[in-house]
C-alpha cells in the first residue's frame, strides 16, 4: 500500500480527520506495518500501552479487561484506531486484541506520535481535542450508570 493510501485511511479516523495532509504524510511514512496472523495477539491486557494501531485490513477482536470469553466485546475492522488511549496516557492496555482474521495494521508508537506532534502542534492539539471529547463521553456514560445504580 502506498503512503497516499495510508494518508487517506488516517484521514477517515476522527482523531486525524482535521489534520493537514502534509502532516499525515509524515506520520504515515513513519509508521510501521505490523502483520498479525489469525489467532495471534497484537497486545494483551496489562501490557504497557506503547503504541496505537490502525487496522488497514482484516478484523481484530478486543476483549475488555481480563475477560476470557470466546467472543470479543468489540470487533475493529479497517479504518479503526485501537490502543490510542493507552498510548496517550502511558498506561497499560485495558483489553486484549486478537486477530479474528489475518490483519495488517499501521503501528503508531508513542515516541513517533510525540515526535510528529512536536513538529506539528496543530496535529497535537487536534488529537488532544478528540481524546478529550472521547473522555467526556465516557464520563457522561459512567454518570448515567452511577445514577441508575
pLDDT tens for 86-129 read 888 888 998 899 999 999 999 999 999 888 888 888 888 887 78
C-alpha 116/C-alpha 72 separation (Å) is: 33
Locate the domains of the chain by residue range. Answer: 3-148
C-alpha 98/C-alpha 110 separation (Å) is: 21
Contact between residue 65 and residue 45 where contact means Cβ atoms under 8 Å apart: yes
pLDDT on residue 8: 94
pLDDT on residue 60: 96
Positions of the chain with pLDDT lower than 50, given as ranges: none
Other Cβ atoms closer than 10 A to 114: 13
Contact between residue 57 and residue 78 where contact means Cβ atoms under 8 Å apart: yes
The class of domain 3-148 in CATH terms is mainly beta
Percent pLDDT > 90 in the chain is 48
Amino acid at each position: 500500500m502506498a503512503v497516499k493510501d495510508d494518508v487517506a485511511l488516517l484521514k477517515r479516523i476522527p482523531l486525524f480527520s482535521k489534520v493537514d495532509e502534509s502532516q499525515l504524510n509524515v506520520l504515515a511514512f513513519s509508521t510501521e506495518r505490523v502483520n498479525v496472523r489469525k489467532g495471534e495477539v497484537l497486545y494483551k491486557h496489562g501490557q504497557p500501552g506503547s503504541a496505537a494501531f490502525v487496522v488497514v485490513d482484516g478484523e481484530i477482536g478486543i476483549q475488555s479487561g481480563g475477560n476470557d470469553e470466546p467472543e470479543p466485546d468489540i470487533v475493529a475492522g479497517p479504518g479503526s484506531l485501537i490502543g490510542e488511549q493507552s498510548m496517550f496516557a502511558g498506561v497499560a492496555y485495558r483489553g486484549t486484541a486478537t486477530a479474528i482474521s489475518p490483519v495488517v495494521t499501521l503501528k503508531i508508537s508513542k515516541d513517533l506520535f510525540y515526535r510528529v506532534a512536536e513538529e506539528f502542534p496543530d496535529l497535537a492539539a487536534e488529537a488532544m481535542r478528540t481524546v478529550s471529547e472521547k473522555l467526556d463521553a465516557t464520563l457522561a456514560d459512567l454518570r448515567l450508570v452511577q445514577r441508575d445504580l
